[in-house]
Structures are given as C-alpha cells and as structure tokens.
Amino acid sequence: MKNEIWLPDKDSLIPNFEPFTDKVISSIDNINIAIDKIKCYQQKIETSKRLWELTFDAVEENIAILDNRGLIRRVNKAFTSTVHKDFTDVTGKLICDIFCQDITSKCENSEEFSPCLCNLRYIKYHDKFFRLQFNHIYNAEKKSVGCVFIAVNITKEKQIEEELNSLKEKYKKIFDYCFDAIVLFDTKTESIFEVNPRACELYGYEEAEFKTLNAYSISAESELSRDVIRKKENHVVVRRHKRKNGEIIFVELSLSYFRFNGQDLCSMVVRQISDKDKIFELSGD
C-alpha cells in the first residue's frame, strides 16, 4: 500500500461566518433603530421642554419653583419683572429675601421649610397687592421636595374693594344719621332688608326685631300700602302707621325702587307728621 497524504479541500478550511454575520447585522440594525427611537424621544422631550418654558414664561402670575429649604430654583418672566431682578440674581436665594419677608418658616426640629399659609394670604409689595398660594411638589415616594410659589397681582381688585368700602362707609353714615326713618324691604317677599336707627326709634323696635317683621306690619292700612307698592308710586302724602305699642302715627312716605343682588327692593323714607292741621290738610279730611 502506498503512503498517501490527505489534504483537506481549501474551501473546507474557511469557516462559514454567514449565520454569525447575519446576526451581527441584525443586531446593528436593532441598535440603530433603538438609537433612532432615543433620538426621537429626546426631540419630543426637548420640544415639550420648550413648550413648557414658553408656557411658564407666558403666565401672568408671578411663579417661583422652590426647593424644600425655600430656595428659589426657577422663576418665570412675570416674577423677575415684579421684583426688578434678573433670573441669575434670584436663583438660589430665599423667597422671603427676594419677594417679601416672613412668608416662610422652619418646621420644628427640621431643616425643611413650611409655608405660613395661615397668616399671609395677602401681602403688599412695592405698592402692589398680591394674593399668595403655595402648592407642594411631591416625589414618587410622596415626600415633599419643594413647592410652587404663586403671587397673583390683585392691586386693581384691592383698589375697587377699598373704593367700595369707602362708599359703603359714606352710605352707612348717611343712612344712620338721616333725620327721617328709612326702611328697605323686598317687594316680593315683603321681608325687611335694612332699617336705620331713626326707624327703630320711630316704631319702637330693636333693629334685629325689626328685620323679622313683614314690611306691611308697620302699616295700619296694609292693603292700601300694598297697592302703592304694586303701582310703584313714589310719594304718599299721608298714611297711617302703627308703632310696636299699637299707637297710630301719621306719616308721609317717599319711595324709590331698585334691584340689588337679585332682589327687588323698595327704599321707604318715612317722615312723621305731628301737626294735626297738616294731617287734615294732606289727607283732605
């Protein structure tokens, strides 16, 4: 037998990488798809962030994001405009040092800050009035990690309120010190809405007692009085009224009608007529 040397076929010496290559290519494709998705998500996040920034700065109210120590982390444009400071000048500062004093306090035995909601609902800052609001920010463990501070400018509302209070005070003085008795009542329910001190004096009722009466209970001619109100007459030259003790008095009435808070009211100004000759003259008797 001859000695023979076996040599493998050259093709058999080259390993078949095709399946492995397909897997590598498939993996690379998957990685590229994942990268594209990540980029897409990043773009969406950036878009959402820009929209949030635009919305945050477009809000008219003064807003500051505070950490759990009361330090400012972010503010909107309205806030910087109100305090006349740049964003960099307020970041990292205590809200009470920038906007107003004593709007935050330390919790007992804690370094975390707590809003003083009970004492400071409203503040005056640079001749403007603001309504304050604190909303806590919670993490996934439901632990407070800071809060949103909101200061709403209510200067116009405050000015209107002060003007109304001033007018109310003037009206009250006129109403209380008027020489004639004044009775305000609802023309539909016939309940007495308000009386002045002179009315209490004239009819002999305390104010609280007076307001429990029917408007026509002080008239000795209730049906005639109702007819006057139905016709919305403005002047009655003489009418018989009665005091708490039953005494009959003669009065002259001036009436005006108006609507207030959904109620149809009548303001009745009552002047007592004590001159008998005047009574006969006015009544025509």
| pLDDT cut 70: percent of the chain above it | 79
Tell me what the mean pLDDT of segment 181-200 comes to: 94
Cα 188 to Cα 193: distance, rounded to the nearest angstrom: 12
pLDDT of residue 4: 61
Are 86 and 26 within one domain?
no
For the ranges 2-6, 59-63, 130-134, 217-221, the maximum mean pLDDT occurs at: 217-221
Among 123-132, 186-195, 212-221, 253-262, the minimum mean pLDDT is found in: 123-132
Residue 20 banded pLDDT, cuts 50, 70, 90? low
* β-bridge mates for residue 96, sequence order: none
Are 72 and 147 in a shared domain? yes
Question: Beta-strand (E) ranges in the chain?
Answer: 62-67, 72-75, 104-106, 113-115, 122-125, 128-138, 144-153, 181-186, 192-195, 235-242, 248-260, 263-272
Pair (183, 278) in one structural domain: yes
Give the integer Cα–Cα distance in Å for 198 and 204: 10
Residue pair 77/62 in contact by the 8 Å Cβ criterion: no
Report yes or no on 5 lying in a domain. Answer: no
User: How many whole angstroms separate alpha carbon 135 and alpha carbon 144?
Assistant: 10
CATH number for 257: 3.30.450.20
For residue range 234-271, what is the model confidence (pLDDT) as tens digits?
A: 999 889 999 999 999 999 999 999 998 889 999 999 99
Shared-domain flag, residues 68 and 126? yes
Whether 42 is covered by a domain: the verdict is yes
For residue 173, being part of any structural domain is answered with: no
pLDDT value at position 22? Answer: 59
Determine, yes or no, domain membership for 147: yes
Tokens of 69: 């120590």
Residue 16 has pLDDT above 80, yes or no: no
**In this predicted structure, what is the pLDDT of residue 128?**
86
Q: Are residues 240 and 257 in the same domain?
A: yes
Give pLDDT tens digits for 110-169.
445 555 443 457 777 888 888 888 888 888 888 888 888 898 888 888 888 888 888 888
Domain that holds residue 138: 59-157
**What's the mean pLDDT when you consider all of the chain?**
82
> 121 with 209, same domain?
no
Q: Are residues 127 and 186 in the same domain?
A: no
Q: Does the pLDDT at position 37 exceed 60?
A: yes
Would you say residue 11 lies in a domain?
no
Q: Are residues 37 and 64 in the same domain?
A: no
